[in-house]
Every structure is written in structure tokens, then in C-alpha cells.
């Protein structure tokens, strides 16, 4: 297994190109199941998860042809089974469920199971599809779903915000008979991007960007071209890299509007963020000060930025309270950061971070995508050498992280393990 070796203490300086959003690309690829015509997606990031979704679609009969950062999807659905050996690698595979039911009236999708950060159930996806007329049965670790009659529109009220359930049910509703209303829908920018692409494919969706989506089902969707929005989590991650090293980095392609609460919290902590026409310049000239953050659905502080922000607060002056409200086990970066000299205490869903003057490099273990990158950030700031093991987690969500950081002056290399 590959590992990343970092010698810390160098302020970053230079440009970093921000790629297309992983968490938009994955549902957008699943939308390729909704039409036999060609769907062309631009600005697709080169990530392990994208390859996994492409493999999943291919075994459904949807060919995925790469052309640089463009993916062309097209084909007829020949198989409605999403097998365990693919789904277990990537939970977002469950996003084929709604499109398969809408197109061919049946689907057998492996239950995604839990992952490092939580049990990650899909009950909201299944209950919503049942309300739309699907028959759902769980057997031998698989979801057996059928809708011999066409799915029918329904009013679905989510008891709490779910990104994936909103995406699955919005896609299913585009081809259902009648009107579907999703109440308490997720409002993440990736949902808006998916809705924009579905609309380009002929779907009829109102309320995009709000927590109430109204979808009028149509008989069929046609092909379209869609460029994926920039990745706000990659943006926030590299903003933290600039801040934790006391550097100045230009994030090319980043858009302030998608950063939501991340920009506010970083500015409160003493990070400067300057908006340019096609970039954000992030710099930290003076000290960092401890600032509280609580993860919430968009437009709140994103859970996918919690680990990165905690690494930053580990070297701030004063204390910060970081509260995780979305996932039940998303503090696995804490013991690793503490091994580097951080002073973080976890009490239930909250962690108190007492800033220290500096961290010291150490061999550390990556456990999940965002925890991995928080260890890279800590390594960039630490005295001495840090080795981050199991970087396959990183490759799921960050394209060429060591190359992008090295281009800004970081002493960082990847070693085959």
C-alpha cells in the first residue's frame, strides 16, 4: 500500500487547480442510466471512486468512454444487479437504485454496509421508493426492488437531511408518473448541479437550491452535455493547507459561493480569502486563533471539512470546539493528530482542540478519506518527517494531492508500499 512522506515547515506558495466535485460526478454518472442517449460530463476528476462508478455502470450496460476530463456515457441497460464486490468499495453505488427502478422497473443492489465513519443506513432511500410504489425486500445482503407498474409521484418528507436519498429519489422522480415533492431535501451545491443536468436532459424540476423540490415526471429523458461544478471540499482542504503552513495559494477554478460556512469560519480564524474572477487567493499572514465549528447540512459547515479544520485548529492560538452532528464516528483522525503533538479531547460528538505552538512529524495511519487528508495537512506544518500510511483512502477523493502540494513548495513524495 502506498504511503506519503512529508517534511513539514514550508509555507505553501503558488497555484492549485481545483477539479470537478467528486460528490457531484458520482450521482451525475448514475444519471446516465436514465437515458439511452449519450450523456457527456465535463470537468470530471480523475479519482478511484470515478473508476469504480464507471465499472459499475459498465456491468449495467452503460459504456463510459473517457476523453481527457470528459466522460461520455451511453447504452442500453442489460443488467439490473449492482454486485457486492463493487458496492462495498463505494457506498455511492446505491445511487443506481432509483435510476434502475425508474428505467427498467427492477433492481437488485447490494446493501452498502457501513464504513469507517458510521453505519450509513439507506432507509430513507428505500422508504421514499416504497412511497413511489416500489416493492422493496432485503435478502442476503441485497436490496430487491421492483416496480412493475411505473413509479408514481409522491410527497416525501425527509425526517432529516440526506444528500444521497435526495439524489436517488430526485432521479427516480424524473421518470415517475405524476408529481413528486421532496420536503426537507438536501441543498448541497452538488444536488443543484445534478438537478441542472437532469433539467438539461428534459426533466422538469422546480425549487432547485431550496429544501423543497417538485418534480413532474416525464416519459423519457434525452442526452445532454454538462460540466461539473468545482469541488468545494477540495477547495476548503487546500485553503486549510495554505493557512496551516502560513503560505499564500491561488485556488484556480474555486468559487466562493460554494464554500458556504467554511469561508466564514476560516476568516474568523484569521485566514484571508480574496475573490478573483476565476480563483480564490488564500493566505495567512498573522496568527491563527481558535474558532468553533459545528457540522451541519449545507449551507452549514460541511462534515467533509471537519477533519481538515481540526488539523488547522491544532496549531491555532487558544481553543476551538469542533462538533460533528452528521456522522457518529468521524473523529478517527484525533488519535493520529494527538500522536503528532496535538492536544484534542473528544467528549461525545464534540472535540475540544487546544492549540499548540507546533506539531512534530510521526508515522500515522489513514482511516478514511477526509481523516487521511487532515494528516497530510498536519504533516505540512509539523517539524520533521511525517509518513501517512494507507493513502488509497486519499486517492478516492483527491487527485494528485502530492503533485499539487509539491508544485507549491511542499516537501512531499509518494512511495509505493
Contact call for residues 238 and 249 (beta carbons, < 8 A):
yes
Query: Based on CB atoms, which residue is closest to ligand EPZ, 60 or 396?
Result: 396
Query: Hey, what's the cell of 120?
Result: 450509513
Instruction: Select the residue whose beta carbon is closest to ligand EPZ and give its number.
Output: 164
Contact positions with ligand EPZ (CB under 6 A) in 89-118? 91-92, 118
For ligand EPZ (CB under 6 A), the number of binding residues is 22
Q: Which of 263, 273, 311, 361 is nearest to 6 (CA)?
A: 361
Query: Based on CB atoms, which residue is closest to ligand EPZ, 76 or 137?
Result: 137
Query: Based on CB atoms, which residue is closest to ligand EPZ, 66 or 121?
Result: 121
Query: Based on CB atoms, which residue is closest to ligand EPZ, 120 or 150?
Result: 120
Helices (H), 207-331: 232-245, 256-259, 261-268, 306-313
Asked if residue 369 binds ligand EPZ (CB under 6 A), the reply is yes
Neighbours of 357 (CB within 10 A): 7
Query: Hey, what's the cell of 233?
Result: 471540499
Asked if residue 397 binds ligand EPZ (CB under 6 A), the reply is yes
Given candidates 66, 121, 141, 287, which one binds ligand EPZ under the rule CB under 6 A?
A: 121
Given candidates 185, 293, 307, 326, which one binds ligand EPZ under the rule CB under 6 A?
A: 326
Contact positions with ligand EPZ (CB under 6 A) in 165-194? 165
- How far is CA 174 from each of CA 20, 34, 78, 155, 269, rounded to the nearest angstrom? 24, 9, 21, 14, 43
What's the min distance (Å) between Cβ of 128 and ligand EPZ? 9
Given candidates 258, 327, 331, 398, which one binds ligand EPZ under the rule CB under 6 A?
A: 327
d(CA 379, CA 396): 20
- How far is CA 203 from each of CA 128, 191, 196, 199, 325, rounded to the nearest angstrom? 19, 14, 9, 4, 33
Residue 197 annotated to the active site? no
**Residues whose CB falls within 8 Å of the CB of residue 283, separated by 6 or more in sequence, listed in order:** 242, 247, 248, 249, 271, 272, 274
Asked if residue 303 binds ligand EPZ (CB under 6 A), the reply is yes
Query: Hey, what's the cell of 144?
Result: 430487491
Asked if residue 122 binds ligand EPZ (CB under 6 A), the reply is yes
Catalytic residue numbers?
A: 115
- Report the interface residues with ligand EPZ, using CB under 6 A: 23, 26, 91-92, 118, 120-125, 162-165, 303-304, 326-327, 369-370, 397
Amino acid at each position: 500500500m502506498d504511503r506519503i512522506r512529508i517534511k513539514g515547515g514550508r509555507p505553501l506558495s503558488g497555484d492549485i487547480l481545483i477539479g470537478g466535485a467528486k460528490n457531484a460526478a458520482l450521482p451525475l454518472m448514475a444519471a446516465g442510466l436514465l437515458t439511452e442517449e449519450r450523456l457527456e460530463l465535463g470537468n470530471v476528476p480523475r479519482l478511484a471512486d470515478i473508476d469504480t462508478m464507471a465499472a459499475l455502470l459498465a456491468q449495467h450496460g452503460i459504456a463510459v468512454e473517457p476523453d481527457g476530463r470528459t466522460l461520455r456515457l451511453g447504452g442500453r441497460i442489460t443488467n439490473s444487479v449492482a454486485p457486492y464486490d463493487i458496492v462495498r468499495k463505494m457506498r455511492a453505488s446505491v445511487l443506481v437504485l432509483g435510476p434502475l427502478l425508474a428505467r427498467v422497473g427492477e433492481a437488485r443492489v447490494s446493501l452498502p454496509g457501513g464504513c469507517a465513519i458510521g453505519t450509513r443506513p439507506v432507509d430513507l432511500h428505500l422508504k421514499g421508493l416504497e412511497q413511489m410504489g416500489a416493492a422493496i425486500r432485503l435478502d442476503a445482503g441485497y436490496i430487491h426492488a421492483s416496480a412493475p407498474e411505473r413509479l408514481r409521484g409522491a410527497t416525501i418528507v425527509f425526517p432529516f437531511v440526506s444528500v444521497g436519498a435526495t439524489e436517488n429519489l430526485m432521479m427516480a422522480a424524473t421518470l415517475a408518473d405524476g408529481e413528486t415533492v421532496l420536503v426537507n431535501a438536501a441543498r448541497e451545491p452538488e444536488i443543484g448541479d445534478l438537478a441542472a443536468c437532469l433539467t438539461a436532459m428534459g426533466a422538469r424540476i422546480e425549487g432547485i437550491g431550496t429544501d423543497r423540490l417538485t418534480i413532474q415526471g416525464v416519459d423519457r429523458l434525452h442526452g445532454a452535455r454538462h460540466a461539473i461544478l468545482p469541488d468545494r471540499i477540495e477547495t476548503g482542504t487546500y485553503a486549510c493547507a495554505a493557512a496551516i503552513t502560513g503560505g499564500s495559494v491561488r485556488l484556480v477554478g474555486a468559487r466562493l459561493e460554494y464554500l458556504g460556512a467554511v469561508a466564514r469560519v476560516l476568516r474568523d480564524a484569521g485566514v484571508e480569502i480574496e475573490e478573483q474572477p476565476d480563483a480564490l487567493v488564500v493566505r495567512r499572514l498573522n496568527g491563527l486563533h481558535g474558532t468553533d465549528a459545528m457540522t451541519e447540512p449545507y449551507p452549514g459547515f460541511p462534515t467533509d471539512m471537519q477533519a481538515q479544520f481540526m488539523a488547522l485548529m491544532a496549531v491555532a492560538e487558544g481553543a476551538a470546539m469542533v462538533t460533528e452532528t452528521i456522522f457518529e464516528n468521524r473523529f478517527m483522525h484525533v488519535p493520529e493528530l494527538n500522536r503528532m503533538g496535538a492536544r484534542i479531547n473528544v467528549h461525545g460528538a464534540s472535540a475540544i482542540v487546544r492549540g499548540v505552538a507546533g506539531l512534530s512529524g510521526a508515522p500515522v495511519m489513514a482511516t478514511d478519506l477526509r481523516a487521511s487528508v487532515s494528516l497530510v495537512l498536519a504533516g505540512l506544518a509539523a517539524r520533521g518527517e511525517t509518513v501517512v500510511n494507507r493513502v488509497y483512502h486519499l486517492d478516492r477523493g483527491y487527485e494528485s494531492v502530492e503533485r499539487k502540494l509539491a508544485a507549491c513548495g511542499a516537501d512531499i513524495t509518494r512511495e509505493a508500499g
